[in-house]
Structure 1
Amino acid sequence: MKAGFAAVLATAFAAPPAQAASPVYGDFSLMFQRSAGQYAPPGEKAFQWAWSPQSATESQITWGDPVTWPPATAEHFVRSGDWVLLDGWDGNGTYYSQRVTEESACDGAQCTAIPSDGGRQHYVRWTVPSTDYRLVARGTITRQSSGKVVHFEHLQTWGAPAPCSNARFGARTCITQTETWSDDNGLPAGSPMRETLHRSIKIAKGLGMAFAIDQDVPSPWHAEATEYWNW
């Protein structure tokens, strides 16, 4: 009897089964690895991307032509708590600082203001939610060498992990970033912003960026990942 009672007690107070950790953006983007890849429209020339971690919380990504690699432009991202922030990017021999004046996170029609973190854009959640969410950011980009300011609006929808596939790598699990970018670059002062980009990018778990890209602004374009590697 005592042995049986002890067994019951052991079962009652046993630790619950361990639950799988929630996926994080790094599982998909591989932003804190020296990861790289190529993507191309079917039958056409390839383009390339590569992450270059700078510290435990900072990384930069470059996009460009593998023939003339490395490119002169790199986007700078910082992990802060449960967010990945966009600070700005290098290019044209200078640095472009991106700072938001208004940000919100939306679940359906319900939007909540995001508290500022040094003015940097809250680009994507680090812990990947199980449901889609939207981000709205408005602010300015300042060219450090000249002080020129451009106003922008960046609308994003981040899709929850879902099945995806492409011709080279078959069935995978992806998160999808659908984004619309508008700005007043090159327009007369006081002009309304114009939409310059609308696209969706699938990011595959364990592989990285640009698993598939579908763009319709400024022009229709489709590309899929053809290679992934660590450098």
Structure 2
Amino acid sequence: VVAGMAIAVLVNGKLRGMRLARTLLLVPPMIAPAVVGLNFRWLFNTQYGLVDALLRIFNLPDIPWLTHPAWALVSVIVADVWQNTPLMVLLFLAGLQSLPQEPLEAATVDGATPWQRFWHIVLPLMRPVIMIALMLRIIDTFRTFDVVWLMTQGGPGGATNLLTVYSYLLAFQAVDFGHAAAVSYIALGMSLFVLGLLYGVPWLIAKRRAI
């Protein structure tokens, strides 16, 4: 979400090539998660992957991207960010372009810096869009499966074993459908709880301020 906001602010400018950049942002979200998982598995492969091949060109040591717990988690995060951040960028970009210009122009006349305009005007006005973005990313977090399974299958050592992957392993490898269903319900309950906090806490704060 943070990366999406930062890129949206950059792309929202009137620099040359921004229109092409906005068009290219449509590509990653349109690719199937299974294809993304396979591509990044090949990219991070230690033997024939492109990333380690580039490291060898600069005489840098190979990195066990998919076989070391910490690096495997980093690899999965990179793949997820690559696919989902452009959607956040487009969402924030739509919000930025719909903001009223009068407060920003008044702040500019008053001598506010770009950071002050962003922090005190843009962010408060973008709060509804930010809430929607957070909701979408939370939902994505609890339903992510394809990319993780195709890249690491939850390993190594359970470093990338998400609830969705764990439920799949219980159901189709351990053949324990009862526990698999329980894990799925736990994931659903956690997502609903987080979404409730996300919308409930601001509502309570606004209600108290109104009183």
Q: TM class by shorter-chain length?
A: under 0.3
TM-score, with length taken from structure 1: 0.19
TM-score, with length taken from structure 2: 0.20
Higher strand share: 1
Higher RCO by CA contacts (8 Å cutoff, separation 6 or greater):
2
